[in-house]
């Protein structure tokens, strides 16, 4: 539903999923449902509400000593924090997300591409040009490896791809 931009229907389904998870005490299920709720809210520009969902998802995951949906929730929260101008907090979450994806062996996945790309932009905003360049180049190489381009069906992936391409073009132009 999210990939087809049916956000209202997705919100309803996710609220039901969260409710069911709470009824049966399935903490990982609750955390995942909250994380995806955060994603829907973030994609529709409701970053403050998204932060509430991401915060709860992250709290549950850390309480269960699990990282099942933690890297994705950290990526989402970091993206919302960046959108709200909280650059330092965003960098912390995105860096942790990238490190967790590496730790669990998903450094060649679409899921890793997302926070990697976002972190490149955050580091540029922080004035860390060398690190931003290194991250952007890695993200662009990964995009090529995974076949990610401007026509990718997932909105978030297309946005990250577009931002990464713009950043690498800017870096090349400045170095010329």
| Cβ neighbours of residue 48 closer than 8 Å, sequence gap 6 or more | 84
Structure tokens at 9: 């229907």
| Cβ neighbours of residue 43 closer than 8 Å, sequence gap 6 or more | 2, 7, 155, 156
pLDDT 10s per residue in the chain (176 long)? 444 457 677 777 777 777 777 788 778 888 888 998 998 899 889 999 999 999 999 999 999 877 888 999 999 999 999 999 999 999 999 999 999 999 999 999 989 999 999 999 999 999 998 999 899 889 989 988 988 877 766 656 666 666 666 666 665 566 55
Q: Are 87 and 78 in contact (CB under 8 A)?
A: no
CA atoms within 13 A on the CB side of 84: 19
Q: What does DSSP assign to residue 1?
A: -
Q: Are 40 and 2 in contact (CB under 8 A)?
A: yes
Model pTM?
Answer: 0.84
């Amino acid at each position: 539903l999210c990939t087809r931009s049916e956000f209202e229907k997705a919100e309803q389904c996710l609220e039901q999923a969260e409710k069911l998870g709470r009824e049966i005490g399935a903490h990982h299920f609750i955390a995942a449902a909250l994380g995806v709720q955060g994603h829907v809210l973030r994609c529709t520009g409701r970053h403050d509400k998204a932060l509430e969902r991401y915060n709860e998802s992250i709290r549950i995951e850390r309480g269960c000593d699990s990282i099942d949906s933690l890297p994705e929730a950290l990526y989402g929260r970091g993206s919302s924090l960046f959108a709200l101008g909280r650059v330092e907090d965003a960098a912390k979450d995105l860096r942790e997300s990238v490190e967790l994806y590496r730790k669990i062996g998903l450094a060649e996945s679409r899921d890793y591409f997302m926070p990697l790309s976002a972190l490149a932009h955050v580091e540029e905003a922080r004035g860390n040009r060398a690190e931003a360049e290194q991250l952007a180049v890695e993200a662009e190489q990964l995009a090529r490896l995974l076949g990610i381009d401007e026509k990718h069906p997932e909105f978030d992936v297309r946005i990250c791809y577009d931002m990464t391409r713009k950043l690498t073009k800017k870096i090349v132009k400045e170095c010329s």
